């Protein structure tokens, strides 16, 4: 997929969104956000613009894609950069040859970042529904309503996550991190086969979430070997290039570093987090990131703690207030399970906020997952006052766990 075609579709989307806004301004009833039905009838009267679905979220709607009109491609490589991929770099990637074989059969730009839900990290892609669908497998690509709902401002979540996502009773999911989250209606539980994408939104939502625009490229290598094409891409620039066939088999590609770009409150505290899987469920963060973000300090009650430097002032303040209010005995230092430990959640290839040093676990024996826990609620209240979220409030509780929710500057 050439960059020029992507730009042409984007321009058409702007025209169509404008038409939708006019309809909304004239009092057209698009129904409540999160309604169970999504109309596929054209809503725009400008014949030069693509049709608009009756959007669940008109403020975040883009042009509704027409019926599938392109061949389907496999998803072989995902290229991720810290920032927007330049048009020149995309042209270079699309021109790669391996021997006499064309290396890139098709490529689709997208925005790629991560959000956290209950201490688990998920990958989110902001996509052009018309172009991206061709890389997601036949069942997904041909499911027209899914792409119309994404275009209408809803989120599509991988169907294998249906039982893990805390969607509220109205069908909305909080997307972001910490205190900065956005409530987006789940329009589809998707059968999409791109293993490194857990959720899909459109480009307007990508902008709202603060995702880096066009920082990723999904590639089909055609007859060329994905491994050979990856080697050629890595010669061009310092990029994370993931072989998706390896991910499909083992859950992660161990031969490349991974890039995490959080959206929401954690964005400032984490920045760009690069890591390499090193076996045994462990990951090795970029040493420069560790040097600039992780510190060890003596803290009240718990003693020596190694955490993210952005969290330390309010963590100290919380523990000091717990001590000053006579609640120090409610925290057992011998049952403190750590703060910064860069590894996957046990039995998975999913990171937690402990990987960034933004969470602590205390009084572990009596506060296991799925229980109400026995932590003193006065201790909980003080942590919340100082900007921490408590795992005991989650849909599947984790009462030992506190994580950074928002920055609070001690006076």
pLDDT digits (tens, 9 = 90+) for 225-253: 999 999 999 999 999 999 999 998 888 88
Which of 248, 217, 236, 232 lies closest to 77 in space, CA to CA?
Answer: 217
The edge-to-edge listing of strands for the beta sheet with 388-390 is: 359-361, 401-404, 388-390
Taking all residues of the chain, what is their mean pLDDT, rounded to a whole number?
Answer: 87
Higher pLDDT, 40 or 292: 292
Our separate counts of H helices and E strands in the chain read 12, 19
pLDDT at 32: 27
Tokens 């572990």 sit on residue: 364
pLDDT at 346: 87
Res. 52 pLDDT band, cuts 50 70 90: very low
Dist CA 50 CA 63 (whole Å)? 6
Q: Which domains does the chain have, with CATH numbers?
A: 3-260 (no CATH), 293-404 (3.30.1380.10)
Dist CA 157 CA 256 (whole Å)? 25
Higher pLDDT, 214 or 250: 214
Mean pLDDT over 251-257 rounds to 87
Higher pLDDT, 18 or 84: 84
Cα-Cα-Cα-Cα torsion 212, 148, 184, 177, nearest 10 degrees, comes to -30
The answer on pLDDT for 178 being more than 70 is: yes
Mean pLDDT over 101-108 rounds to 96
Backbone angles phi, psi at 274, to 5 degrees: -105, 140
The answer on pLDDT for 331 being more than 80 is: yes
pLDDT at 54: 57
> Which range has highest mean pLDDT (7-21, 211-225, 236-250)?
211-225
Which of 127, 190, 152, 128 lies closest to 38 in space, CA to CA?
Answer: 152
pLDDT at 161: 96
């Amino acid at each position: 997929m050439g960059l020029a075609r992507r730009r042409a579709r984007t321009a058409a989307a702007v025209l169509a969104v404008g038409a939708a806004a006019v309809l909304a301004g004239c009092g057209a009833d698009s129904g409540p956000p999160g309604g169970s039905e999504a109309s596929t009838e054209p809503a725009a009267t400008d014949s030069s613009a693509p049709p608009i679905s009756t959007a669940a979220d008109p403020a975040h709607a883009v042009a509704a894609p027409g019926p599938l009109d392109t061949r389907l491609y496999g998803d072989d490589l995902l290229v991720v950069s810290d920032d927007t991929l330049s048009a020149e770099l995309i042209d270079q990637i699309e021109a790669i040859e391996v021997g006499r074989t064309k290396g890139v059969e098709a490529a689709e730009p997208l925005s790629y970042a991560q959000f956290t839900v209950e201490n688990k990290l998920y990958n989110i892609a902001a996509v052009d529904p018309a172009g991206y669908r061709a890389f997601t497998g036949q069942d997904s690509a041909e499911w027209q309503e899914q792409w119309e709902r994404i275009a209408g401002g809803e989120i599509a979540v991988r169907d294998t996550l249906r039982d893990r996502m805390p969607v509220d009773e109205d069908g909305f999911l909080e997307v972001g991190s910490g205190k900065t989250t956005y409530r987006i209606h789940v329009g589809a539980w998707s059968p999409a086969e791109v293993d490194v994408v857990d959720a899909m939104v459109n480009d307007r939502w990508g902008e709202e979430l603060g995702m880096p625009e066009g920082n990723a490229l999904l590639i089909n290598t055609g007859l060329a070997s994905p491994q050979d094409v990856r080697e050629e891409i890595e010669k061009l620039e310092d990029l994370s290039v993931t072989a998706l066939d390896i991910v499909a088999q083992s859950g992660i590609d161990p031969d490349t570093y991974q890039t995490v770009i959080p959206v929401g409150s954690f964005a400032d505290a984490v920045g760009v987090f690069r890591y390499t899987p090193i076996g045994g469920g462990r990951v090795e963060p970029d040493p420069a990131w560790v040097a600039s973000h992780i510190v060890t300090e003596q803290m009240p009650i718990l003693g020596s703690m190694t955490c993210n430097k952005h969290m330390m002032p309010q963590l100290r303040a919380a523990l000091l207030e717990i001590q000053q209010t006579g609640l120090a005995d409610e925290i057992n230092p011998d049952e403190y399970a750590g703060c910064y430990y860069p590894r996957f959640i046990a039995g998975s290839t999913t990171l937690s906020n402990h990987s960034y040093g933004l969470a602590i676990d205390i009084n572990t024996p009596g506060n296991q997952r799925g229980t109400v826990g026995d932590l003193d609620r006065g201790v909980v209240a003080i942590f919340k006052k100082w900007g921490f979220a408590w795992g005991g409030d989650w849909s599947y509780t984790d009462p030992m766990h506190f994580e950074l929710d928002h920055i609070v500057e001690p006076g």
